[in-house]
Amino acid sequence: MTQLVRLFLAVFIAAFGLMYWTSYLNSSHGYSGSDTLTIYNWGDYIDPELIAEFEKETGLKIIYQTFDSNEAMMTKIEQGGTTFDVAIPSEYAISKMKEENLLLPIDHAKIPNLTNIDSRFMDLSFDPGNQYSIPYFWGTVGIIYNTEMLDGKTFTSWNDLWSEDLRNQILLVDGAREVIGFGLNSLNYSLNDTNEEHLQEAKRKLGTLTPNVKAIVGDEIKMLLAGEEAAVGVVWSGDASEIMDQNDKLDYVIPEEGSNLWFDNMVIPKTARNLEGAHKFINFMLDPEVAARNTEYVGYSTPNAEALKLLPEDISGDERFYPDPELTDKLEVYKNLGKKMLSHYNELFLEFKMHRK
């Protein structure tokens, strides 16, 4: 009995000790006042030096928190509880959050640097007039392949994935829209197609890809491809740039039939307290020099036209990440197809997964 009491006491003391220590640390670093700004972003998705600079420039203290999926982020914002002043969701999440009234409108007058953004990336279907979101980074879905493991084989088309010499060599990202999307693209249909015949055709075609598919995985895909577990992967361009940083034998291509164009945009969720600071932060991130440095750090494609001019030629001229206008025209943003269609896409994806070799 005394042992039990002692155990509880020890846990109790440890918990309170940690709580006290945290609050002590926070107050000694100035995190307790009202001059804080909470940023909610993907992990490793900002140059940390820029945070320090923003703090120095504005006198605001930044509390930086990270999430690893749009769904997790939305759930946390929906529940309230934590104050997030700026969040950076992807485009489909933005349209969902808009529908559920989780976002506050952004005052464009407070963001003079908005003019730096390439007009191609403004006013898109998921947020007409950019009322609620400002572009942060963008990218594509494409094929990453290991030139050495494949003896110099290259890819230009989605249909190259069906090649017979790729038995058990392909890793796919675990996303219904992505996989069904490239299935549709490979048949020259739009990746927002809702025509049942086209969808069934895409599913049948994906079924014949099964012998080439080694696995359908989540975030581990980066580690697996960099570790040469498989030679080919279908990934987001952002992941591709991370993988290529770790292993330079890999190369990335956006297939000629077209692909997905995705965005991560800055938004002000309804949990925001420091609206002034949130606008300041968004404006700061759009500054050409800041955006350029951030792009060099993160490695994704920047929507900031002025920043692109400041970047060295080997980044801004890289057609894998800044495709020429002709290919860009073929890229499509995922439309919000509605819950029912999305559910159907998932059903088809599930059937594809069930396909045994």
Q: List residues near other proteins by CB under 8 A.
A: 69, 71, 168, 171, 174, 176, 214-218, 220, 223-224, 227-229, 339-340, 342-343, 346-347, 350-351, 353-354, 356
Residue 223 CB, shortest distance to other proteins, in Å, is 8
Closest CB to other proteins among 61 and 76? Answer: 76
Q: Which residues have C-beta within 8 Å of that of residue 69, sequence separation ≥ 6?
A: none
Closest CB to other proteins among 71 and 276? Answer: 71
Residue 347 CB, shortest distance to other proteins, in Å, is 8
Closest CB to other proteins among 55 and 174? Answer: 174
Residue 167 CB, shortest distance to other proteins, in Å, is 11
Closest CB to other proteins among 204 and 273? Answer: 204
Nearest C-alpha neighbor of 233 from the set 339, 220, 45: 220
Residue 55 CB, shortest distance to other proteins, in Å, is 34
Residue 229 CB, shortest distance to other proteins, in Å, is 5
Q: Please give the sequence-ordered ranges of beta strands (E in DSSP) within the chain, or none if there are none.
A: 36-42, 61-67, 86-87, 103-104, 133-146, 170-173, 213-217, 232-236, 250-253, 261-269
DSSP for 125-148 reads TTSGGGSSEEEEEEEEEEEEEETT
Q: Are 234 and 352 in contact (CB under 8 A)?
A: no
Closest CB to other proteins among 63 and 215? Answer: 215
Residue 92 known to bind ligand: yes
Strands 170-173 and 213-217 come out as: parallel
Helix, strand, coil percentages in the chain from 3-state DSSP, rounded to 5:
50, 20, 35
Residue 344 CB, shortest distance to other proteins, in Å, is 9
CA–CA dist 151, 129 (Å, integer)? 47
As beta bridge partners, residue 42 has 67
Closest CB to other proteins among 61 and 214? Answer: 214
The tokens for 112 are 């003079």
Going by the annotation, the residues of the binding site for spermidine are 92
Residues of the binding site: 92
